[in-house]
Amino acid sequence: MPSLKGKNIIITGASGGIGAEIAKLCAARGANLVLLARSIDKLETLKKELQSKYAINVHAQQLDVADPEAVKRVFAEVLSDIRYVDILVNNAGFGIFDYAHEAKIDEIKTMFDVNVVGLMACTSMVLPAMKQRRSGHIINIASQAGKIATPKSSVYSATKHAVLGYTNSLRMEVADDNIYVTAVNPGPIATNFFEVADKQGTYVKNVKRFMLQPEYVAKQVVNRMMTRTREINLPRWMSPGSIFYSLFPRTFELFGKRVFNQK
């Protein structure tokens, strides 16, 4: 594993879940961190914890990635302080499970603003300097939902399909600039994501035994930082499933119908 000591790493959605776990692992390996999220209180608590344990620099700033002007302002402030970014982890995101005909337009727009447009906006703020330095790593937290669509997640799945399309195109664009671009596609993770996504608790109850732990997902991500890793698919057994789905979608949907209807 490449050393992360002294690397400058920005993590969005760092106030909890895999974002916070990624921050802890990076700090343990000597990286300097910029923690971004809407909940500044949680960020400050995490900042104090990390700085008390490790001899690193930690910045914590409030940011709603759905606000393009706020993204410009906060990233400009951050870059003036740390000068350059080695790794950007686009982790901010959320989902709401609803049938397509029940999805509310304002929630649809917000999901796209956070999961897609916000991710693109943050990326655009660090890319010019990465290209100039000919070094950097963009890590986009997508989802298995971006590979295999399921009922009651049409909007969320659409946002993650968009993230994967953007990530794959970006990877080709910056290949000659020595910039790495990685998509992370986890299955369900045991975080507070489902407090919003699955208000009835049906999905969590049905898939609880298959849920990934955030510490495990974070470790897989951090272990591949500053490496030319195209995708991280978790759990690993889901990867063959997404390949089969792309080759034989009708068959996959027919025989997988019972499994898909877990929400």
* 75-84, 179-188, 198-207, range with the lowest pLDDT: 198-207
Q: Is 133 helix (H, G, I), strand (E, B) or coil?
A: helix
> How does pLDDT run across 86-121, given as a tens digit for each residue?
999 999 999 998 899 999 999 999 999 999 999 999
Q: How many CB atoms lie within 10 A of CB 83?
A: 9
- Higher-pLDDT residue of 112 and 202 is 112
Judge contact between 27 and 50, C-beta under 8 A: yes
Please give the Cα distance from 44 to 42 (Å, whole number).
5
> Whole-number mean pLDDT of the chain?
91
Q: Just list the catalytic residues.
A: 156
- Please say if the pLDDT value at position 211 is more than 80: no
Q: Are 154 and 111 in contact (CB under 8 A)?
A: no
Supply the DSSP symbol for 213: P
Domain assignments of the chain as residue spans, ordered by start:
8-260
Confidence of residue 238 (pLDDT cuts 50, 70, 90): confident
**pLDDT tens-digit map of 124-175:** 999 999 999 999 999 999 999 999 888 889 999 999 999 999 999 999 999 9
CA angle 141–241–169, rounded 5-degree value: 40
pLDDT surpasses 60 at 263: no
| Phi, psi dihedral angles at 152 (to 5 degrees) | 70, 10
Name the superfamily (CATH) of residues 8-260. Answer: NAD(P)-binding Rossmann-like Domain (3.40.50.720)
φ, ψ of residue 4 in degrees (nearest 5) = -105, 0
pLDDT tens column, 134-144: 999 999 999 99
Question: Is the predicted pLDDT of residue 54 greater than 90, yes or no?
Answer: yes
What would the DSSP string read from start to end of 217-246?
HHHHHHHTTTS---EEEESTTHHHHHHHHH
> What pTM was computed for the model?
0.90
**Cα(120)–Cα(222) distance, rounded to whole angstroms?**
21
d(CA 88, CA 221): 12
